[in-house]
A and B are shown apart, each in its own frame.
Chain A
Amino acid sequence: MGMRETILGDGFYRYDPEGGRPRGAADRPHLMVRDGLLQPALEERTASGICLPGESLDDDEMGGPVQFPGGIAMPVQIERVLGFGRSFSFWPLLFGLACCAIEMMALGGSRFDMSRFGMEAMRASPRQADGMIVAGWCSIKMAPRVVRLYEQIPDPKWVLAMGSCAISGNVWDTYNIVQGIDSLIPVDVYVPGCPPRPEALWQGLEMLRERVKQSRHAYDGLRRIPARDVLAAQTAAAEACAPAAGEVKA
């Protein structure tokens, strides 16, 4: 609640001349710049369980040793083993929205070669993917499709927002651009730049791999996603108007 709700309320292509709208990282209290990348601020991280590279995850948070029937304790943390395996075959969704996708292709090409990390298998179907790289600006007409693609990716899933457009809308503060993809879906790693160099995306993917290894997600335990919250608010608003019609009928 609190901070994040405010951000989401303002960020979702809604213009509020009095209250203003977040325009960049500095205006977004849940983000900060670290290692040249935008990072969620500390309170936000502890709330959502986001971990920075180099930060270790203590064992209590991982749930401790797995107990098997018969009282045998497994000294290995299963999640961590699974995460380790997943991190070496992370298959992103083949999904480019705008010019940033060109740099994503460059990372897939032979010069930067993301297949070194087991990421070259970009799946054309969200049902086969482990996550998505939102590369480029998202138009308002595309927004429901992005949400649909995200929801079709099976759990566990991770999202990387690539480029200023996906992070904040960039200079396209206009009639047709979603002002930051995190107003729709939970984002794990933000890679700024216009477009980011393939190296920057590579660093972002390394951070993502770190999170995959640790089985950490931007979404919370209830798998709530911001677009569904917006939808619920819109439905509630429509229902609040509905009784007026009912009274007329009665």
Chain B
Amino acid sequence: MSALMDAITAAFGARILETGDFRGDLTISVAPEAWLEVLTFCRDNEATKFDMLDCLLGDHLPERAAAPFALVAQLVSHTYGHRLRVKTALTEGQAVPSVTSLWPSANFDEREAWEMYGIGFTGHPNLIRLLTTEDFEGFPMRKDFPLEGTVGGRVRTDLRGKI
């Protein structure tokens, strides 16, 4: 595989749980405990130099009973022009360290992942709701969230003090 993957596998060995290569789209999976360490390496290592976090997003896969949540980071390097997808699998309520210290743009991405899926981020400077109102309850992008209807007061917003 590419020099990029060689550098990462050489550094982490068996801690890279899975690698993928779909038409040049490189993917690695890591354990949540290695999340911050792997991403720090990706940013700082000379062979990888991922200076940009393209996006960071959550996912909910209820069929994966042991670890139904996924966190995906898409990295871009402007030095080498290569990209990498880093994935991790999480259980309900499991938190990962925030990567806002590596890429400040992760701030909004992590807020959204928390708001929509309930994935926690430790060390995030401002983990509050981004797209929904403050009094909203629940995590709407989870597969068990009702698709239709505003569900018995869950989204009733109080206009007092707002208009």
Contact = CB atoms under 8 A, between A and B. Distances in A.
A227 interface: yes
Nearest to A169: B150
A108 B149 CA distance: 35
The list of the 5 closest CB pairs from A to B, nearest first, reads A144-B162, A15-B150, A147-B163, A231-B159, A144-B163
Given A140-B132, A141-B131, A141-B133, A175 B151 contact: yes
Q: Which of B131, B138, B148, B163 has the most CB of A within 10 A?
A: B163
Nearest to A173: B148
7 contacts: A13-B155, A13-B157, A15-B152, A15-B153, A139-B131, A144-B163, A230-B159
Contact of B150 (A14, A143, A234): A14
A235 interface: yes
Given A14-B156, A140-B155, A227-B163, A175 B145 contact: yes
Given A141-B131, A175-B140, A176-B132, A231 B152 contact: no
B151 to A, nearest CB: 6
Contacts of A110: none
B33 to A, nearest CB: 33
B157 A173 contact: no
A234 B150 CA distance: 18
Interface string A135-154: 00001110110011001000
Interface size class of B (residues with CB under 8 A): 20 to 34
A175 B163 contact: no
Interface string B99-124: 00000000000000000000000000
B132 A174 contact: no
A238 B156 CA distance: 14
Interface in B1-60: none
Contacts of B136: 175
Interface of A: 13-15, 17, 21, 139-141, 143-144, 147-148, 151, 173-176, 179, 227-228, 230-231, 234-235, 238
Given A15-B150, A174-B147, A148 B163 contact: yes
Contacts of B63: none
Given A173-B149, A175-B145, A175-B154, A231 B132 contact: no
A33 to B, nearest CB: 24
Contacts of A231: 159-160, 163
Contacts of B158: 234
Interface of B: 131-133, 136, 138, 140, 145-160, 162-163
Nearest to B147: A174
Nearest to A177: B150
A67 B55 CA distance: 68
Contacts of A235: 160
A237 to B, nearest CB: 10
A143 B148 CA distance: 19
A242 B132 CA distance: 27
Contacts of A176: 131-132, 140, 155
Contacts of A15: 149-153
B61 to A, nearest CB: 21
A173 B152 CA distance: 13
A137 B45 CA distance: 45
B155 A175 contact: yes
Most buried by B among A15, A143, A179, A238: A15
A144 B149 CA distance: 21
Contacts of B146: 175
A138 to B, nearest CB: 12
A121 to B, nearest CB: 27
Contacts of B133: 140-141
Contacts of A228: 163
A157 B161 CA distance: 24
B162 to A, nearest CB: 4
